[in-house]
Amino acid sequence: MFLEPRIPPNTGNAIRMVAATGATLHLVEPLGFDLSEPKLKRAGLDYHDLASVVVHPDLGTALGTLVGMRVFAFTAHATRWHTDVAFEPGDVLLFGPEPTGLSDEVLGHDRVTDRLRIPMLPGRRSLNLANSAAVVSYEAWRQHGFPGAR
């Protein structure tokens, strides 16, 4: 789930990633672009028709559609790594907007199960949004034996 994404190519790349993995990309408005924007289309190439993308008007509505699912919020300020979790089917991976990340209010939301981080060398602020989502999505998919992959 991308909360208020702002950079079209990041979302386009994520659309391509969810098409490749069978995941669903939940986008929470306001978006920093129009979904028909050329940069978004170019980054997603011809995968838009193969991807499952759902747009929600706000975080409350998005989380309301994902009742009973664990929500993992990603922040460079967490102490646990994404590899410390045994992911379950249906888990929600919540990423914040570029360049600010998730607010303290969102990180403290009662639906957030845990805060996680992706390991990086000291002094590095963060990874690109699409890259972060791919790293964690593929780890979750790997833990389940890449079902459906060939």
SS (H, E, C) 14-80: HHHHHHHHCCEEEEECCCCCCCCCHHHHHHHCCCHHHCEEEEECCHHHHHHHCCCCCEEEECCCCCE
The mean pLDDT values, 10 residues at a time, for the chain of 150 residues are: 94 92 96 76 64 95 96 96 97 95 97 97 89 97 94
Q: Which pLDDT score is estimated for 135?
A: 98
pLDDT at 33: 86
Task: Tell me whether residue 103 is annotated as binding.
Answer: no
- Boundaries of every domain in the chain: 2-143
53 φ/ψ angles, rounded to the nearest 5 degrees: -125, 130
Q: What is residue 50's predicted lDDT score, i.e. its pLDDT?
A: 85
Is 148 labelled as part of a ligand binding site?
Answer: no
The dihedral sign for the CA sequence 76, 16, 94, 91: negative
Instruction: Pull the structure tokens for residue 1.
Output: 């789930």
Tokens of 86: 């045994």
The pLDDT value recorded for residue 129 is: 95
Contacts with 110 (C-beta within 8 Å, 6 or more apart), sequence order = none
Q: Provide the residue type at 51 as one letter.
A: A
Architecture in CATH for domain 2-143:
3-Layer(aba) Sandwich (3.40)
pLDDT of residue 105: 97
Residue 134: strand, helix, or coil: helix
Report which secondary-structure segment, H or E, holds 2.
strand 2-3
Flag whether 145 is marked binding. no
